[in-house]
Amino acid sequence: MSWLLILLPLLGSMVIIVSPGRLAKQLALVTSLVVLGVSVAAAVVFDGWGRGTWELTSSVEWVKEWGLVLQVGADSVSLILVLLTTFLMPLAILGSFNAIQSRTKEYYGWLLGLQAAMTGVFLAQDLVLFYVCFEFTLVPMFFIIAIWGSKNRAHASVKFLIYTFTGSLITLAGFLTLAWSYAQANGGVWSFEIAALTNHAASALSLHEQAWLLLALLIGFGVKVPLFPVHTWLPLAHTEAPTAGSVLLAGILLKLGTYGLYRFVLPMCPEAVVEWAPIVAILSIIGILYAALVCWVQTDVKKLVAYSSVSHLGFCVLGLFALNPMGVEGSILYMINHGLSTGALFFLIGMMYERYHTRDMGELGGLARTMPIWATFMVFFVLSSIGLPGLNGFVSEFLCLIAAFTAGGSGAYPGVLGPWYAAIAALGMVLAAMYLLIMVGKVVFGPTKATLRHDEQSGLPVDLTVREITVLVPLAVGCIVLGIQPDLVIDNTATAVADTLAVYQGIFEESMPGAAAFVETALPGGAR
Amino acid sequence: MIDVTLQLARIIQAMPPVPASEVVTDTGQWWIGFILWCPLISLVLCGLCAACRVKSKLPAWITVFSLAISFVLTLLLASMDSPPERVELFKWINVHWDGGSFVANFAFYIDSLTILWMSFVTGLGALIALYASEYMEPDVGRGYSRFFAGISVFLFAMICLVMGDNLLMLYLGWEGVGFASYWLIGYYYQKPQAVAAAKKAFIVNRIGDLGLALAIYLIWSTFGTIQYNELISVLDAGTYSPVYENWSVQAIPYLLMLAAFGKSAQLPLYVWLPDAMEGPTPVSALIHAATMVTAGVYLVARMYPFFLLAPESLHVVAWVGGLTALLAATIGMAQYDIKRIFAYSTISQLGYMFLGLGVLTTYGAAYHVFTHAFFKAVLFLTCGAIMHGFAGQLDLRKISGLRRMKGWRIVSWTMFIGCLCLAGFPLTSGYFSKDAILAEAFVSHGPGFEVLGWIAIFTAFLTAYYTFRVWCRVCAGEVRYEPGDEHHGDDHDAETHGREFHPHAPRFAINIVLLLIAAGALLAAVPYFMGNEVEHATGGWVADMVNDSTAATGVPGHPEHPGTAAHGAEAHHGSILGMDPHVAMYSISACVGGLGLLLAFWLHLWRRQDADRLRSWLLSRFWTRWLPVAMENKWYVDEIYHAFIRAPLWLFGHIFYAIDRYIIDGLLVDGTARLPRLLARCFQPLQNGMLQSYAVTMAGGAVLIALLMLLMLQFFTGGSVS
């Protein structure tokens, strides 16, 4: 079943390339819906909900002597992210129906190829498959930006490719060193199985070696997340990509980074993580505030939302490095929620752009009067992104922050962060309300600009079409459901998260930072 | 197939076993949930109306009806007179792990404080929705559904806030009412001022919300729970250990305070409330006068035990309240827009409530909330009627003699009642509730509380003055009016253009609501005389309601709180001019109120030219000029915030963006990317195609490599030896 999830989209993309171009979008939609169906079926037969086990596993031997065995499987966290992927894909395809008019065959082919790679990343159980898929996501995205992007697409796509590729090469170096060290320890028997390598790394590597491994992994995944200060590829790529490209970038591709942090960094180098978590947390807090302030002065709506991703993902990383169950659960929820609400915002901006051919806040205004349905959705998803309680964004943000806050107290809540981290990061909540509401005030409300002309050539009515509403409604439903029933995710992943964090309990018990010592070190910027 | 169903059930069902909560959930009381669901149903139906473009008053009737049901259910709940209880609705956020859990569910915590608040929230909500059904008439078929959906959202959030059984549910309501307020202030979304005001309200409130969020984190890390009943029992047992020994318990009240001051528009976060008057007037009456802005008072009352853990925090509350009351009253005196005057008066009265909380009379604060809800709602609703009839005219210099005009009698006299209550005229409801607070300022001991008491008395004088300034200008005097220029989003143009303007007097829905709420404002004095359950206690029904709740838990030696060392030694009891404050205050506040009232009648009814003369006299003197100028310009607080907070942040935004583009991206990233090309450029001259130079380079290279190898060899051997 896992192979099916990876290969079906690939098959679909082959079929699209050989079939006539006018059928491309329908074929792509059908394929993605079938994959969605398969993933739902997988979720139903999946036995790992609420347990930490790996299910749906299967392996193919490739070169056994070198340890090259391709293995797939899913635990609850992976499967939830796979579901997010398969859920967003049909919407991304449906959302491109009108926007993409040239070279449709290639476009949908690449999109499905991208889906295969992304699913592969989440389902991979060995490093070879993981890394291949991780890198292969770059190729379709590169072409999607370079061919169907807007004005500055050439620069954006090259920068995206080289930047993230450089980052992941360093990660590859880290992985290879780890595998080599494993082979050394096991009498020359190579293996790339993630579970085995994780065990080896966590138990056999010295603190020094773990720190280097952490650095190598952090560079690759940090670029992907993106963590301050390696985020500059993102605003460019997001802004220049076509709508579906931006949606998938924000929705899934960034999550590859946080998933990597969760899957590899946390379990592989626990001691180094405990040592370095304050630094990573400070970087993510800088990212939160810095990107939020940068958002404030943007004039391009799409760029604003792009920078807001940098700010939001800061919360996600902060939650992960709080190293307690609330934070990691919050972080997993954040991955999904950010995919839903920021994805939807990119859809909405795309829909607006197709009608008015501008994203400049100075030129837009008063769209609530002309496009009431669009405006309703826009306000809704902005609220979700701001973190209004009752909608999805709130739960994850709250959990990440409370986790960072309590991590480091004496007694029941060990950790290496503390109240100051959360208090400063929480300023991001206020700033998020500021920049997003200012944007809404300029674009959605206010007097309708006389200069704003709806483009009749676009073939779209003034307000949203049924197709566009169909794209947005599932996302909105997702926002509400996860807002009032976050237990759907939390309970089902609880054990998996607890297993991942089990190693930290031992470390904290050994070296519990006392409350007094903690207060000294947890002052802002005081991570030694 | 069964297997599949089971699997699905398992996905949907919560997996880890939830420890059974010891609180009994009475399944016989499922109907209590409908207090909350009614506004939600109304929201959904109004949304459907908007989607179907309903062109009738249907959304209004849906809203009024469902809110009325909520009100009736609340009364039913109140009549049951049961001890504090929890009602679980459904699970929300539950994280369990080894040795701990974080639990926040959708559940109600119902004690008398809840019921006190709910009674006026739902009651006034239903009445004001009825009023709005006529007021918003011009928008039928356009924003009408949107408006009533907003009202439903507000009621839903407010009920969550008041009835929630844990701090996270309170937070949900807290942000929810903020959002509803954003929605409704920005109702006229084509007006830039309305959009700006809505944004400002939300953002300033977010600063307060930040305080609440941090307080929740801190409370959870210290006490391990955020449910009220569990918190109270942990506090009672004293079994908590502060995680951050030095400051955790001390910091909680200050964080809660930040939240309360944001929502209840106190210094330094009050600036959003006057601007919020851009919203339709029923919204101002319901949200920005009667209910939402009292949420801060509710929060402090609900969390009162935490304030008692750090008693100095209450001094801060008292001083902030007192100073806000004074500041807002001075601004209110000098405004000309009647809605803004009442907005500043709301801030000022909220200041009184916080003063009451700070001087240990939660009863006084709660009673003032209760009476204020009625009389301020009346005042705003009469403003709304005037706006509605005079095409948005709100300048008190341009309308006069309303009570002599046909069809405006009910408006003028209900306004008169509201003004009497607000001014604290003897035997009105405002008189009793304000006195309870003023007297306690002299009874309690704290830094400078006596000065604070006199400030509050002076403010009472100002209140009486500015209140009757409005009434004398607008309702009394000769008949004279000018229509306003805005038509609050409707098309009165047909009426006004080309011929003379005719004000249209309010009709049935507005008048009946005005009468009912005015009657409520008068009757709000009755609870004061109702018998107390406990002997020797004063304050009547409201005091009982407060004393039975968390708001009175652990208040030491408090006069309204029999049972604890009641009143203690008389020596601890402060005095005012050598008299017992409780007794003396009846006459002092009556005198002060009367003086203010007389001053208003003199300057604004009997000899109106004196007011102008006074103003020009003040303006002509260099030493006094600043006073009217600063008051009319609201002490320049908005400008100060703009210069010291918004502008620097905005600048930082630009600086950071420049850094991002030119330093991080331009210099570091693109610079690194250019390195290979630069490197290549350095070596380019070597590829010059001349054989001799290639030979030289080769030889040089060989030497270089040899040298390097030698060096490395030395380095490695040296390294191994040492």
pLDDT tens-digit series, residues B392-434: 888 888 888 888 888 888 888 999 999 999 988 888 888 888 8
Residues 632 through 661 of chain B touching chain A, CB cutoff 8 Å: 649-650, 652-654, 656-657, 660
pLDDT in tens, A197-239: 888 888 888 888 888 899 999 998 999 888 888 888 888 899 8
B137–chain A nearest CA distance, Å:
19
Q: How far is A429 from chain B (nearest CA, A)?
A: 7
Of A303, A297, A262, residue with least CA distance to A77:
A262
Please check whether residue B8 touches A, CB under 8 A. yes
**What burial class does residue B143 get, using C-beta atoms within 10 Å of its C-beta: 0-12 exposed, 13-18 middle, 19+ buried?**
buried
Per-residue pLDDT tens over the stretch A9-29: 889 888 888 888 788 888 889
Q: B245 — contact with chain A (CB < 8 Å)?
A: yes
Which residue of A162, A390, A401 is in closest CB contact with B217? A401
pLDDT, tens digit, 9 for 90 and up, residues B348-382: 999 999 999 888 888 888 889 999 999 999 999 99
User: Which tokens in the block code for residue A198?
Assistant: 């994780």
Rounded distance between C-alpha atoms, residue B641 and residue B214, angstroms: 23
Tens-place pLDDT, residues B575-632: 666 677 777 888 888 888 888 888 888 888 788 788 888 888 888 888 778 888 888 8
pLDDT at B228: 87
Question: How many CB atoms are closer than 10 A to CB B637?
Answer: 15
What tens digit of pLDDT does each residue of B649-694 get? 888 888 888 888 888 887 787 777 788 788 888 877 777 777 788 7
Give the max Cα distance, chain B.
116
> Inter-chain contact B189–A390, Cβ cutoff 8 Å?
no
CA dist., res. B672 & res. B517, Å (int) = 72
Q: Report the chain B residue with the minimal C-alpha distance to residue A445.
A: B189
pLDDT-derived band at B345, boundaries 50, 70, 90: very high
Q: For the stretch A162-198, what's the b/e string if a residue is b when 16 or more beta carbons lie within 10 angstroms of its beta carbon? A: bbbeebbebbbebbeebbebbbeeeeeeebbbbeebb
Please say whether the beta carbons of B469 and B596 come within 8 A: no
User: Which pTM does this prediction carry?
Assistant: 0.88
- Decide: B347 and B271 in contact? Cβ < 8 Å: no
Out of A162, A399, A444, closest to residue B95 by CB: A399
CB count in 10 Å sphere of residue B314: 22
Q: Give the closest-approach CA distance of B652 to chain A in angstroms.
A: 7
Structure ipTM: 0.89
Three-state secondary structure along B183-236? HHHCCCCCCHHHHHHHHHHHHHHHHHHHHHHHHHHHHHHHHCCCEHHHHHHHHH
Pick the residue from chain B with its C-alpha nearest to A522.
B244
B44 touches chain A (CB under 8 A): no
Q: Which of residues 52-71 of B touch A (CB under 8 A)?
A: none
Residue of B nearest to A398 (CA): B213
In angstroms and rounded to an integer, the radius of gyration of the C-alpha atoms of chain B is 32
In angstroms, what separates the C-alpha of B441 from chain A's closest C-alpha? Answer: 34
User: Which chain A positions have a beta carbon within 8 Å of B179's beta carbon?
Assistant: 383, 388
Cβ contacts of A482 on chain B, cutoff 8 Å:
none
| Cβ–Cβ under 8 Å, residues B477 and B373 | no
Q: Between A and B, how many CB-CB pairs are < 8 A?
A: 187
- Compute the average pLDDT of residues A128-132: 90
* Buried/exposed code over B415-442 (b: 16+ C-beta within 10 A; e: otherwise): bbbbbbbbbbbeebbbbbbbbbbbbbbb
> Is cis: bond before B268, omega within 30 of 0?
yes
Q: Identify the H or E element spanning A62.
A: strand A55-63
Report chain A's C-alpha Rg in angstroms.
22
**A40, A485, A487, A503, best to mutate vs chain B, most B CBs in 10 Å:** A487
With CA atoms as reference, report the closest residue to B347 among B466, B442, B440: B466
Q: Where is pLDDT greater, at A75 or B483?
A: A75
Question: What part of B 110-129 touches A (C-beta under 8 Å)?
Answer: none
Work out the pLDDT band at B495, boundaries 50, 70, 90: very low
Q: Residue-wise over B16-36: b if at least 16 C-beta within 10 A, else e? A: beeeeeebeeeeeeeebbebb
Is the model's pLDDT at B54 over the cut of 60? yes
Listed in sequence order, the residues at least 6 apart from A174 whose beta carbon sits closer than 8 Å to its beta carbon are A212, A213, A215, A216, A217, A220
Q: Is there a contact between A421 and A404 (Cβ–Cβ < 8 Å)?
A: yes
Residue from the list A43, A162, A293 with its beta carbon closest to the beta carbon of B656: A293
pLDDT digits (tens, 9 = 90+) for B528-576: 877 666 655 566 777 777 777 777 655 554 444 433 333 333 445 666 6
The alpha-carbon gap from A239 to the nearest alpha carbon of chain B, in Å, equals 14
Longest distance between any two alpha carbons in chain A, whole Å: 76
Using an 8 Å CB-CB cutoff, list chain A residues near B186. Answer: 445
Q: Chain B residues with CB inside 8 Å of A369's CB?
A: 189-190
Check pLDDT > 90 for residue A33: yes
Give the Cα separation of A385 and A343 in Å (integer): 10
| pLDDT, mean of residues A240-267 | 91
The winner for highest mean pLDDT among B24-28, B468-472, B522-526 is B468-472
Q: Give the C-alpha separation, A256 to A251, whole Å.
A: 10
Contact A43 B11 (CB under 8 A): yes
> Tokens 């011009």 correspond to what residue?
B138
Give pLDDT, residue B500.
62
**Cβ contact (<8 Å) for B221 and A405?**
yes
Tell me how close the Cα of B150 comes to any Cα of chain A, in angstroms.
13
Residue B564 DSSP SS3: strand
Q: Mean pLDDT throughout B249-257? A: 90
What are the two backbone dihedrals, phi and then psi, of residue A58, each rounded to the nearest 5 degrees?
-165, 155
Cβ–Cβ < 8 Å for A474, A340: no
Q: What are the CA-CA distances from residue A512 to residues A205, A326, A504, A524, B682 (Å)?
A: 22, 19, 11, 21, 54
Average pLDDT over residues A167-185: 89
A405 and B244: CB-CB below 8 Å?
Answer: no
Is the per-residue pLDDT at A516 higher than 50? no
CA distance A94 to A97: 6
What does each C-alpha distance from A362 to A104, A308, A439, B289 come to in angstroms?
A: 33, 19, 10, 36
Q: Inspect the interface and report whether the beta carbons of A498 and B97 lie closer than 8 Å.
A: yes
Smallest Cα–Cα separation from A289: which of A312, A317, A263?
A312
* pLDDT digit string, tens, across residues A271-313: 889 888 899 999 999 999 999 999 988 889 999 999 999 999 9
Q: How far is CA A436 from CA A229, A377, B80, B128, B191, in A?
A: 23, 14, 46, 32, 19
Of B7, B214, B221, the CB nearest to A44: B7
Shortest distance, CA B352 to any CA of chain A (angstroms): 28
Rounded to the nearest angstrom, the minimum Cα separation between A518 and chain B is 9
Distances in Å between the alpha carbon of B379 and those of B369, B387, B484?
A: 15, 12, 19
DSSP calls for B294-333 = GHHHHHHHHTHHHHHHSTHHHHHHHHHHHHHHHHHHHHHH
- Which of B91, B202, B221 lies closest to A437 in CB terms? B202
The structure tokens 């004398």 sit at B472
Identify all chain B residues contacting A447, using CB atoms and an 8 Å cutoff.
190, 192
Contact residues on chain A for B7, CB-CB shorter than 8 A = 44-46
Distance from the B334 Cα atom to the nearest Cα atom in chain A, whole angstroms: 30
- Substitution target in A79, A158, A166, A405 with the highest count of B β-carbons within 10 Å is A405
Residues 6+ apart with CB under 8 A from B281: B135, B339, B380, B381, B383, B384, B387, B388
SS3 A121: helix
Q: List Cβ neighbours of A109 (8 Å cut-off, separation of 6 or more).
A: A13, A14, A16, A17, A24
- Of B243, B225, B223, the C-alpha closest to A410 is B243
Q: What mean pLDDT do residues A357-377 have?
A: 87
Q: Are A272 and A203 in contact (CB under 8 A)?
A: no
Residue with tokens 């590597």: A205
Give the burial class of A300: count Cβ atoms within 10 A of its Cβ; 0-12 exposed, 13-18 middle, 19 or more buried.
Answer: middle
The string of DSSP letters for B475-495 reads TSSS-EE---S--TTS-THHH
